[in-house]
Copies of this chain bind each other. A is one copy, B any other.
């Protein structure tokens, strides 16, 4: 059993990575692609190769410290995958959609905050009436200004 497992590991170590397999070259020790493009995931490299080109990816990875290469490969695969799915906009389509989502959330938040201000002002006015306080002309004009500002949201 142990020998069979050892043989399997040995054969896996000797088999070329997905990049070298696609590029039909010998996967040498220290191959820059091997740690990130295992043979079991051929689509990952095919996608990156189609969009960026193997030579550009290899150059990019070699120019950065080893500890950053995993993250770089993940971001390249993400971008390449988006470009294959949407050749015109790639992952810029997602960026536009996230921008729209942010604008919509900001508008909803402004509306909610205006609503809170409105409810607070009604409460203050009700408290004044209940206690029989006189609203001074200064506080009345400040209240009216706030009401005007709130009204723009409705």
Q: Is the CB of A99 within 8 A of B98?
A: yes
Contact residue among B94, B105, B120 (Cβ-Cβ distance under 8 Å from A105):
B105
Contact residue among B63, B74, B91, B93 (Cβ-Cβ distance under 8 Å from A87):
B63
Bound form: Cα–Cα A129–B102 in Å: 41
Q: Is the CB of B89 within 8 A of A71?
A: yes
A21 adjacent to chain B (CB < 8 Å) = no
Q: How far is the CB of A3 from chain B (nearest CB, A)?
A: 42
Chain A contact surface mostly: helix
Bound form: Cα–Cα A95–B63 in Å: 24
Contact residue among B72, B90, B116, B123 (Cβ-Cβ distance under 8 Å from A122):
B123
Chain A 114-138 residues near chain B, CB threshold 8 A: 115-116, 119-120, 122-123, 126, 130
Chain A 59-108 residues near chain B, CB threshold 8 A: 60, 63-64, 68, 71-72, 74-76, 78-79, 83, 87-95, 98-99, 101-102, 105-106, 108
Bound form: Cα–Cα A60–B115 in Å: 50
Q: Kindly specify which of A10-18, A32-40, A46-54 makes contact with the partner chain.
A: A46-54
Bound form: Cα–Cα A79–B52 in Å: 11
**In chain B, what residue has the closest Cβ to A69?**
B88
By a CB distance below 8 angstroms, the chain B residues around A105 are: 102, 105-106, 109
Chain A residues at the B interface, C-beta cutoff of 8 Å: 50-53, 55-56, 60, 63-64, 68, 71-72, 74-76, 78-79, 83, 87-95, 98-99, 101-102, 105-106, 108-109, 112-113, 115-116, 119-120, 122-123, 126, 130
